Structure 1
Amino acid sequence: MICGSTGGVRRRASAAAAATGVLLTLLSGCGASGSGDGSAGAGPTPHGHVEGAEETAEPQWRLILAAARGGRIHSLDPATGRSVPVGEAAGLTAMRTDGRHAYLTTGDAQRVVDTGVWTVDHGDHVHYYRAPARTVGDLRAAGTPEVAGDLAVTTLAAGGAVRVLDRKALDDGKIQEPARVEAAVAVPYAGHLLAASDGTGHVAVHDREGHRISQLPEPCPDPRGQAITRRGAVLGCSDGALLVTGEDGRFAAEKIPYPGEVPAGERALEFRHRPGSNVLAAAAGDKGAWVLDIAARTWKRVGSVPAVAVNAVGEDSPVLLLGRDGVLRSYDPGTGKQEADVKLLKDTGSLKERPSPVIQVDTMRAYVNDPAGNAVHEIDYNDDLRKARSFKLPFAPAHMVETGW
């Protein structure tokens, strides 16, 4: 149950909640329900109330889209199919997100856009919010960063430096940078920052102000890629993945090695997964995709075609791979067996260009942007990759992230 909002729940959201077990029926501890617009009414402030935002009964996914080299940034609501402009970013070359904010690489700067949708997970219950989208501001920074975030901070790692942004300030429409750390990869985790050095492979634990506290005993050589799961934080290393767990300021690290020697061109460089889930996917160069199961502590290679984009839905759910032939394929993450395929992109010439299409996944659907077709395709990954809908757009959506997490 969602504390605070009492609106009706769409069938899709209800199915997602039942399937994932994310929402528990816990009325205790929830205050009086707010008014329909999410504002505080007479009496005590509702539990979970956020000033200026509307609390909703279901997740507020949004697909943030832009053409190559930028211009107007659009927000597409998959529930309604409506697309609205939410900002501008001329010269756009890449887009990343921390779940609420979009980080737009424009030459020597990062433009931050608050997309106005987000989730607050209290563990035993979840709150969903929406508010007007707005441009927060610009950061002077070169390169496309790896972005990771939690409720307290967001980290932007690029060029050997990690910028730490205050999340509350971002939510309030301001950019504040309380810390900067020298590292190749960083991830906020358990109230701290885990930062992996490119030269030494050492993984240091910092507080949120950037002060070094300790160093993990297990190194991570040539760190590339990171993820946050419910079982710990993951850093990609040349010899596998480093799983870090922590509680009350104490951290432990465990290496999950690759199954044998892996050429440099086939190692995992960027992990993709449904946020919070424990199954990760990464392209394996021209040899399909890697599946990293955190619970089982195993790597598995699936497929054999060069991957343009990959993503993992979660435990006992498909791993998705979009090949250079324009075919979307799904694989069983446990056995590696291919389960379904569908020819999705007709014009495959653009797949050799950058940026390439991506696969975004939520609890019920996957989305693939199709720049050559001026469309975004919605895929039911639980129904043999059935194409549920295609959203036609008046521009070529070269960039896409999904927010609302």
Structure 2
Amino acid sequence: MLIRSAVPVVLGALVLAACGSEQSARPTSPAPSPATATEVDGPRPRLAMTYDGGVLVLDAETGKVLLNEEREGFLRLNPAGDERHVLVSGAGGLTALDTGAWTEEHGDHGHSWTAEPRLTDFTIAAEEPGHVVPHHGRTTVFDDGTGQITAFDPADLADGTPEVETFRAEQAHHGVAVQDGHGNLLMTVGDDESRFGIRLVTAAGSELAASDQCPGVHGEAFAGEVALFGCEDGVLLVEGREITKIDAPDAYGRIGNQAGHESSPYVLGDYKVDPDAELERPTRVAVIDTRDASLRLVDLPASYSFRSLGRTPDGDALVLGTDGALHVIDVDAARVSASVPVTAAWQEPTDWQQPRPLLEVVGATAYVTEPATKQVHVVDLATRTVVDTLDVPQVPVELRGVAG
């Protein structure tokens, strides 16, 4: 059971703070409900897209702009965890964006609804908004500036009033945290100079497991019940209370971005080998098998960026290459099995905030942005063909889709 306290209590490397603190602003207006929405004949996927100056919500089938919300500063898009909302990160924190499309499941069928998209009043204050991780019905937000961790049930966003739990890491750092299915908290450990491991603690702060064998720990992914964290020399696997280190085949083999799959034992990771590079343009990816703690490298015909990784519905891996092709990797064989031409060839910019083609997967559809042409290409993953191209009014920076 999660302990709630009005006074923060230091618990090793974790500080437990009050529930429902000032970190959450409660909405003053109700969220759209079936009474104010339109029932439709099936799910209506939508896309949230940031640009220099704001965020758009698009009809994913037609490209029609449904919302244009102007906002200053660099914006990021994060999954809220409910296939309806997206969390928009910006200066001062995160705001829940209701894309206005959702499906309510009723046994063997569902009812789908649409409404006008809107930025809601649900916010999470953060000095430096960092990683957002939905897992096991909880969404966890890490504030790199303060080390504060905020967790909530994304299903409550439908009513506009999620109750939040707040924790605090002992040292602020560029980190990540996730709640498991038992209320425990799995979190990175570090400070403003270095990051080196992870800890699994109870809600009361008691340590269940820990490892300091993960220099530069960054990013997370899941293969079913197994969590994976990237290191500069491999990865850490966490299953229950057991932590396993998988060494990279190189002394410096950094895996900092990963793509998991809920029903696949494999995790896809990027793979970099030059610790001194200002910007390394890697041409290999890592395929990690969480069953036997093995790591295999796959050669690609082109480099890629941190926005290039994804998974298909059946668990194969996807990498969007700078050659403009979407490369499909058979994870069992650890080899490229198909390549789908999508965009013109491109080069990753040095500044990570600058636009570049990116990959976003929603169900059996991959959406690939092409900033140079202000387009979003639609790829049917079943047929491995580009089936549509959406023209958008702004240069896309980030893209996040919901199934609706």
Q: Shared topology, TM-score over 0.5?
A: yes
Instruction: Give yes or no for the alignment of 1:213 onto 2:206.
Output: yes
After superposition, the C-alpha distances for 1:325-365 in whole angstroms (9 at most, x for unaligned) are: 33332222222322232443226257555243321123312
Instruction: Give yes or no for the alignment of 1:187 onto 2:171.
Output: no
Between the aligned partners of 2:104 and 2:200, the Cα distance in structure 1 is 28
Instruction: Give yes or no for the alignment of 1:70 onto 2:53.
Output: yes
Between the aligned partners of 1:229 and 1:393, the Cα distance in structure 2 is 34
Between the aligned partners of 2:389 and 2:382, the Cα distance in structure 1 is 17
Q: Which amino acid aligns with 1:62?
A: R
After superposition, the C-alpha distances for 1:260-317 in whole angstroms (9 at most, x for unaligned) are: 2341xx4111212456654322222313222223345332222343212433425865
Q: Is the alpha carbon distance of 1:58 and 1:302 closer, same or farther for their aligned partners in structure 2, counting shifts above 3 Å? A: farther
Instruction: Give the match for residue 230 of structure 2.
Output: 236
Instruction: Give the match for residue 26 of structure 2.
Output: none
Instruction: Give the match for residue 390 of structure 1.
Output: 389
Cα displacement (A) at 1:203: 0.9
Instruction: Give the match for residue 301 of structure 1.
Output: 297
Q: Which amino acid aligns with 1:281?
A: L
Q: Is the alpha carbon distance of 1:229 and 1:267 closer, same or farther for their aligned partners in structure 2, counting shifts above 3 Å? A: same
Between the aligned partners of 1:255 and 1:127, the Cα distance in structure 2 is 40
Instruction: Give the match for residue 18 of structure 1.
Output: none
Between the aligned partners of 1:173 and 1:81, the Cα distance in structure 2 is 27
Between the aligned partners of 1:227 and 1:118, the Cα distance in structure 2 is 25
Question: Where does structure 1 lack aligned partners over 5 or more consecutive residues?
Answer: 1-36, 40-50, 246-250
What pairs up with 1:3-402 in 2 under 5 angstroms? 59-67=43-51, 69-71=52-54, 73-85=55-67, 87-99=69-81, 100-117=84-101, 130=113, 132=115, 133-137=117-121, 138-150=123-135, 152-159=137-144, 161-167=147-153, 169-174=156-161, 176-182=163-169, 184-192=175-183, 193-198=185-190, 201-207=197-203, 211-219=204-212, 221-222=214-215, 223-245=217-239, 251-263=240-252, 266-273=253-260, 277-285=264-272, 286-295=282-291, 297-304=293-300, 305-308=302-305, 309-314=307-312, 317-346=315-344, 348=346, 351=349, 353=351, 354-383=354-383, 385-402=384-401
Q: Which amino acid aligns with 1:203?
A: R
Between the aligned partners of 1:332 and 1:175, the Cα distance in structure 2 is 39
> SS at 1:335's partner residue?
coil
The RMSD of aligned alpha carbons is 3.5
Cα displacement (A) at 1:368: 0.8
> SS at 2:73's partner residue?
strand
Identical-residue share of aligned pairs (%):
22
Between the aligned partners of 1:53 and 1:242, the Cα distance in structure 2 is 45
Contact between 1:65 and 1:400, CA under 8 Å: does it hold in 2? yes
Cα displacement (A) at 1:148: 0.8
Between the aligned partners of 2:180 and 2:58, the Cα distance in structure 1 is 30
Higher strand share: 2
Q: Is the alpha carbon distance of 1:397 and 1:111 closer, same or farther for their aligned partners in structure 2, counting shifts above 3 Å? A: same
After superposition, the C-alpha distances for 1:229-280 in whole angstroms (9 at most, x for unaligned) are: 42333333344333333xxxxx3224150342341xx411121245665432
Contact between 1:289 and 1:310, CA under 8 Å: does it hold in 2? no
Q: Is the alpha carbon distance of 1:230 and 1:119 closer, same or farther for their aligned partners in structure 2, counting shifts above 3 Å? A: farther
Between the aligned partners of 1:278 and 1:391, the Cα distance in structure 2 is 34
> SS at 2:259's partner residue?
coil
Question: Where does structure 2 lack aligned partners over 5 or more consecutive residues?
Answer: 1-31, 273-281
After superposition, the C-alpha distances for 1:357-386 in whole angstroms (9 at most, x for unaligned) are: 321123312111111111111112343x32
Between the aligned partners of 1:61 and 1:362, the Cα distance in structure 2 is 8
Contact between 2:371 and 2:397, CA under 8 Å: does it hold in 1? yes
> SS at 2:372's partner residue?
helix
Between the aligned partners of 2:39 and 2:237, the Cα distance in structure 1 is 34
Q: Is the alpha carbon distance of 1:290 and 1:258 closer, same or farther for their aligned partners in structure 2, counting shifts above 3 Å? A: same
Q: Is the alpha carbon distance of 1:200 and 1:397 closer, same or farther for their aligned partners in structure 2, counting shifts above 3 Å? A: closer
Q: Is the alpha carbon distance of 1:371 and 1:331 closer, same or farther for their aligned partners in structure 2, counting shifts above 3 Å? A: same
TM-score by length of 1: 0.72
Between the aligned partners of 2:297 and 2:109, the Cα distance in structure 1 is 34
Q: Is the alpha carbon distance of 1:256 and 1:366 closer, same or farther for their aligned partners in structure 2, counting shifts above 3 Å? A: farther
> SS at 1:372's partner residue?
helix
Contact between 1:273 and 1:311, CA under 8 Å: does it hold in 2? no
Contact between 1:322 and 1:329, CA under 8 Å: does it hold in 2? yes
Q: Is the alpha carbon distance of 1:277 and 1:70 closer, same or farther for their aligned partners in structure 2, counting shifts above 3 Å? A: farther
Instruction: Give the match for residue 26 of structure 1.
Output: none
